[in-house]
Structure 1
Amino acid sequence: MGFFDLFDENEENRKKVREVDRVADTEFATDEAHLDLREEELDIHKNRVETGDVVLHKDIIEEEQVVNVPVSHDQVVIERRAVDRQPTTEPITDEETVHIPVTAETVEVGKHTVVTGEISAHKRSVEETQQVRDVLHKEVADVETQGTADVISED
C-alpha cells in the first residue's frame, strides 16, 4: 500500500492501514500491559564568574589657597612744632640720641595634615531573577478503541 492510498476515501483501505501500522509497533499483552510515560525536566546549574573589579586608591591634587592675613607694623611719626624760644642752660652737643624701636608683624606659613574623611568599600550579594526558556518533551498516553471495547479510565 502506497502513501497516496492513505488519502483514499475508501473506509476499508483506511482500516487496513491502521491495523498494519499498529502491528508493526505494538506489543501484544494477554491480561495486563505496562507503558512508561516520560518527560524532560530542566537541569539548572549556576556558576560564579568574575565580571570585573573595583580598586580604591588616593590621588594627590594641588590647590592654591589665598588667605588675607591682617598684619601690623609701627610707623614713626615725626612732628615738628615751633616753640617760643625760651632760654636754656644746656649746651649744644651731639651726644643726645633717642632710640625708638620699630616693630612689624611678619607672617610665617606652615602646614599640617588633618583627616577630613574616609572611604570604605564592601561587597553585598544582590539576588535577581533571570528567566530561562527551553522546550521540554513529554510523553502522554493516548488510548484508542476499536469496535466495542469497553475502557474504564482510573486516574
Structure 2
Amino acid sequence: MSELFGFFNDDREERNERVEAVDDKKLLLRQEELDISKDRVETGEVVLSKEIVEEQKEVDVPVMHEEVVIERRAINHEMSDSPISEEETIHIPVSEERVEVGKHTVVTGEVSAYKREVEETRHVEETLRREEARVDSSGDANIVNDEEIPHYE
C-alpha cells in the first residue's frame, strides 16, 4: 500500500534491499456526494364544472294586426228598387299576429381540460464535505510526497 501512494519510497528497492512493511496502516478518505431524488406531490386540483347564469332578454318583435276602417260618403239621392230591410249584413274578419315565446337549447362552445408536463430547472445548493490526507512529519523522517497529499512540517 505504501508503494501505491509513493510514501516512504526511497532508493532501497533499486539497491535490491529487502523492504518489509512493518506497520502497514490504511487511512480511508471519505467525501460527501449529493443524493438527488424527486418525489411527485399533489400541489392542487382543478375542478371543471358549469353553472347556470340567468339573464333577462328584451326583444322588440314587430307584429301586424288588421283594423276596419269605416268611411261614410254622401251620395246624391238616387232612386232604388230595393226595400228597406235589416237582412243585409256584411261580415269582415279581422286578424292580428300574436307573439309566442318558446325556448330551445343550442351548443355554443366546448371547454376541454388536459394536463401537460412542463420541465424546468431548479437550482440546488448544498455544502459537501470531504476528507483529505495530511502527512505530518517530525524529526528526520524521509518522505517522498505524492503531489496530491499536502505535506506539513
Q: State if a TM-score over 0.5 links the two structures.
A: yes
Q: Which one of 108, 116, 119 corresponds to residue 124 of structure 1?
A: 116
The alpha carbon displacement at 1:142 in A equals: 2.6
CA offset digits 1:14-65 (Å, max 9, x no partner) = xxxxxxxxxxxxxxx5496643321011112221111211111111111111
The alpha carbon displacement at 1:154 in A equals: 6.3
In structure 2, distance between residues paired with 1:77 and 1:88: 26
Alignment of 1:91 with 2:80, yes or no, is no
In structure 2, what residue type is equivalent to 1:122?
Y
Alignment of 1:112 with 2:104, yes or no, is yes
* Corresponding position of 2:142: 149
In structure 2, distance between residues paired with 1:113 and 1:97: 50
In structure 1, distance between residues paired with 2:62 and 2:54: 25
The alpha carbon displacement at 1:139 in A equals: 1.1
CA offset digits 1:61-103 (Å, max 9, x no partner) = 1111111111110011100001011111000000000000101
In structure 2, distance between residues paired with 1:32 and 1:151: 16
In structure 2, what residue type is equivalent to 1:95?
E
Q: TM-score, normalised by structure 2?
A: 0.73
Q: How does 1:42-81 map to 2 (within 5 A)?
A: 42-81=34-73
The alpha carbon displacement at 1:150 in A equals: 5.4
Greater share of residues in helix: 1
Structure 2: 5+ residue stretches without partners:
1-20, 149-153
In structure 2, distance between residues paired with 1:149 and 1:39: 29
Alignment of 1:38 with 2:67, yes or no, is no
In structure 2, distance between residues paired with 1:34 and 1:98: 133
Structure 1: 5+ residue stretches without partners:
1-28
Distance 1:133 1:154, change over 3 A: closer
CA offset digits 1:90-122 (Å, max 9, x no partner) = 000000000001010111111110000011111
* Corresponding position of 2:131: 139
**RMSD of the alignment, in Å?**
2.2
Q: Which runs of 4+ in 1 moved over 4 A?
A: 29-34, 144-148
Q: TM-score, normalised by structure 1?
A: 0.72
In structure 1, distance between residues paired with 2:127 and 2:141: 38
**Percent of aligned positions that are identical:** 57
In structure 1, what residue type is equivalent to 2:110?
E
Residue-pair matches, total: 127
